[in-house]
Amino acid sequence: MPAVERVLLQIRFKSNNRLIGHCSNLLGEMKRAIAREEQDRRNQDRFASTLVIAASIIAAVRLAPDEIGRPSHRLTATIMESVGLARAVLNAVLR
């Protein structure tokens, strides 16, 4: 094999290795970004379930003396207020 061809092969090999290394770095960054998004989604789901539990407890305490067996305007309003209060508490905790 002539020296020129050997040099060209070495250059091509080095270029390919750099390209492979660059692609590998990009793939690693993509995997980390996906992992961060999944973690954020899990945290958001956890906070949403925490909010539901907190709102349920607040509503149950506020409605304890009343009969809540049938829908009413007061029941709906109390639940909405409880959700708002639970959301405010969760936001304060997250800050």
What's the pLDDT tens digit per position in 48-68?
888 888 888 888 888 777 666
Q: How confident is the model at residue 15 (pLDDT cuts 50, 70, 90)?
A: low
CA distances from 25 to 11, 22, 30, 33, 39 (A): 21, 5, 9, 12, 21
Letter for the amino acid at 81?
A: E
Beta carbons of 82 and 59 less than 8 angstroms apart:
yes
- CB of 24 closer than 8 Å to CB of 36: no
Position with higher pLDDT, 8 vs 49: 49
**Separation of alpha carbons 81 and 79, rounded Å:** 5
pLDDT of residue 1: 60
Mean residue pLDDT of the chain comes to 78
